Structure 1
Amino acid sequence: MTELFPPPSTSGKSLMERVEDALLPLINLVFLLLMFFIVAGQLADDPLPDLPATPASSEQQSPHADLMVDNKGNWRIHGENLDAQALLQRLPEPDAQTPLKIAAASSLTMADLESLLRTLENGGYKEILLLTEPEA
């Protein structure tokens, strides 16, 4: 079996010199890790965003939505239920720079969402933002 280090008498180095040689890569590694965390972990002035599961603070406002869809698939603008014709008349004109904002209930079925999106597509809307909240 081959030895990893030659015996002290044949290597020409004292025990302390061999220990120092073995510690040098470890010191380099610790220095590089320190530099990495200094660069990667810079502190920011912005607070962390609220996690989805945390309750919203009282001073935080909900984003403005042009259209609200409840869990039964009813379409509402300012609390008024609308059908497809009235919906397209009450919504703002389609605009490529300003997407239509839809607030949808988290329990809305995909079939209800698909019928709404088809109606909006037929009305000329190309850009839509879907705003949802996770179930608590």
Structure 2
Amino acid sequence: MTNLVPPPATSGKSLLERVEDALLPLINLVFLLLMFFIVAGQLANEPLPELPGAAASGQEQTPDADLKVTEGGGWLAGASSVDEQTLLASLPEPGAGQPLRVAAAESVTMAELERLFRILERGGYKDVLLLTEPGP
């Protein structure tokens, strides 16, 4: 019976030597990529430019919101303080083309926000935008 597959041409090398020869180009490629990223990282040590619209000074701006939630959990619609009974009457009509913008103080808990959002949902507000400020 004859062999259908010819024996591998070994050229006198063992299997381990042939595997090492096949890995050498891969090792060279990894080394070249490593060198490229080291050099590219050294070339770009300039600081990133300021983003357009970013505040150059450290002044804080109050967000333009329809409703503000204060640190104690109180609500401000415009400049006046409102309670649960007068909240919906002091806000713009729901579905007026824009979402209701709500700004909350940093210390307001999620439970307080959830209570507010449930009241707003019962009042017909389906689109509510929670305004946030980036941290330092």
Letter in 1 for 2:73: G
Tell me the TM-score normalised to structure 2 length.
0.56
- In 2, Cα distance between equivalents of 1:108 and 1:102: 12
User: Are residues 56 and 111 of structure 1, via their aligned partners in 2, closer, same or farther at CA, if it must alter by over 3 Å?
Assistant: farther
Q: Tell me if structure 2 keeps the 8 A contact 1:70–1:105.
A: yes
- In 2, Cα distance between equivalents of 1:101 and 1:79: 15
Runs of 4+ in 1 over 2 A off after TM superposition: 1-5, 45-50, 54-58, 60-63, 132-136
Alignment map for 1:1-136 (pairs within 5 Å): 2=14, 4=17, 26=29, 47=51, 57-58=58-59, 62-95=62-95, 97-133=97-133
Percent identity of equivalent pairs: 44
User: Are residues 85 and 69 of structure 1, via their aligned partners in 2, closer, same or farther at CA, if it must alter by over 3 Å?
Assistant: same
| 2:5 paired residue number | none
- Aligned pairs, number: 106
Q: How far 1:48 sits from its partner (Å)?
A: 6.6
User: Are residues 106 and 57 of structure 1, via their aligned partners in 2, closer, same or farther at CA, if it must alter by over 3 Å?
Assistant: same
- In 1, Cα distance between equivalents of 2:89 and 2:129: 19
User: Are residues 64 and 77 of structure 1, via their aligned partners in 2, closer, same or farther at CA, if it must alter by over 3 Å?
Assistant: same
5+ unaligned residues in a row in structure 1: which ranges? Answer: 6-21, 38-44
User: Are residues 96 and 126 of structure 1, via their aligned partners in 2, closer, same or farther at CA, if it must alter by over 3 Å?
Assistant: farther
Tell me the TM-score normalised to structure 1 length.
0.56
Q: Tell me if structure 2 keeps the 8 A contact 1:106–1:135.
A: no
Q: Tell me if structure 2 keeps the 8 A contact 1:71–1:109.
A: no
Q: Tell me if structure 2 keeps the 8 A contact 1:67–1:103.
A: yes
Q: Deviations over 1:36-92 (max 9, x none)?
A: x9xxxxxxx993775xxx98654x855410000012110002231101221111100
5+ unaligned residues in a row in structure 2: which ranges? Answer: 1-12, 19-24, 41-48
- In 2, Cα distance between equivalents of 1:131 and 1:56: 21
